[in-house]
Structure 1
Amino acid sequence: MSQFALCVGINRFENLPMASWLNGCVNDAADVCALLGAAYGFADSSITVLTDQAATKDAVLGAMTEALDRANTPGEHLDHIVFTMSSHGTQLPDTSGDEADQVDEAFATYDLRQNGAVWDASSLIVDDELHDLFTRLPKGVLLDVILDTCHSGSGLRALDLVPTVDDRRPRFVPPPTPLGRDGAEAEGADTRTLRDLVRSSTSAAKPVLFAACRADQTAADANFGGRYNGAFTRFLLDALQSGSAPSRAAVIKQVNAKLRARKFAQRAQLEASAPGKSTAWGTAF
């Protein structure tokens, strides 16, 4: 089996103050990388890890584009792609007019920067860009996606970036100004997420998507015994390492049970076909 994994973790951001940096994202990337090698047979040469200053928008999208180019090249026989990203999530106003909720979900890369009242779309990964990449997935190639970022739908004004209870920090960075926050709030509308794009895709092959929380929630960056991880990634790795979850659906159930037990408000989400939900993580269907 030919495999490729891209593991992205960003704690520090070029243009954000230290108060807005995170602590567990780099550990998330390293821990997923280690699990892929130990439990899923990924060779070191098949895994690319991008952290902090190496995780620019061009680097992340470039690595994924190369992987999908390989998957679509006859004779390459790339069977399994894994893409994981731990970082800040955010929103920016939709300017193309194709969003009913008037906002795009976005994922912060190291070079995130401001453009007037909002984030510069050329400095972060917009949900549409990931969706366009995923639609290039050829039939017969498995793409497992893990996103440990916030998918915030409402209450942007109430969010801040100071540590909360038990040394927990939300993986969400609001638009940079009050005007930008106003533009990213869709009054009374449901926020469309990448999960919705995956679900509605008409492509022959779809990725299996694990997301850290619902659209109206924030994902936590938290201290576990003196070492930071994303709460979702930590409990996901626990479930996968234990080998006690026979299916992706069982994995999500275990993860959410641990989130509830540790008093995290977020609830992990799974988007996959029925066969994808009933088979083990990392297994084709």
Structure 2
Amino acid sequence: MAQEPQGANGGTELGRFLRARRAQVTPEHAGIGVGPGWRRTPGLRREELAALAGVSVDYYIRLERGKEHRPSHAVIDALAAALRLDANERGHLFAIATRATSMLPKPSVVPDECRPAPGTDLLLERLRPYPARVLSRTLDLLACNPGGLRTLPGIEDWPVQRRNVIRYVFLHPAARALFPDWKLMTSGCVARLRAVAGREPDAPDVTELVAELATASTDFAWLWDRYEVRPFTGTSKTLHHPQVGTMTLTVQAMQIEGTAGHRLVTYLAEPGTPDHDALVLLDR
């Protein structure tokens, strides 16, 4: 029987998700009485989660260890309820469980899929002075106009192939000062990358980026192990820019048709406002 791809850190994606989320649910939160004394397990024990979900301990252990590949819809639904998952997390669990059941390999991204769509340069030019950039599904910076580059101060000093928003947020020394909501930004970046890894755990660009960041950033490694999948859904962004000062901008993002998950991200400000004046300065 074909085996589910093992992903970047060993084990199956379904098993990693279950382990990470189990560690974050306390017995008290799950309504389980706990006697006095110290618990070695930070969250629920395997047997506790199995009991809450109505499955045998042996079956649940096989799920975590990747030995069981065909969990039923009812089992996954029961586990989602026991883990107190929200709508995004529940959807992600069902997606990776479905993939484990189907055993269908996911195609890796080929070089042509990393190229911006035809007409991208013209679109980015037309959007000036508003900063705009085209990002891959793993947030590689594929194309941008002047403002789109300069709203990430210092990234222009990196080689083109290393220009990635997630890498910038975690590893560039300017990022913490640039983003006043840096912690929220980091969790959103990791959640987006987690969603991609759930669909394509063996994609080389995903596994290489995860391995690099997990080694270089303890913040990334901690967030990655928590396995949060809530996307950042903010519609505005405040930047403390070293050249033009503080700006609060409206953010619009949209998928680009005919690409492998490319998105166009644009920052906007009302003409005549200080924020718009700052964008004009960055565009020069």
Greater gyration radius: 2
TM bin (shorter chain) = under 0.3
TM-score by length of 2: 0.22
Higher helix share: 2
TM-score (norm 1): 0.22
Judging by fraction of residues, say which structure has more strand: 1
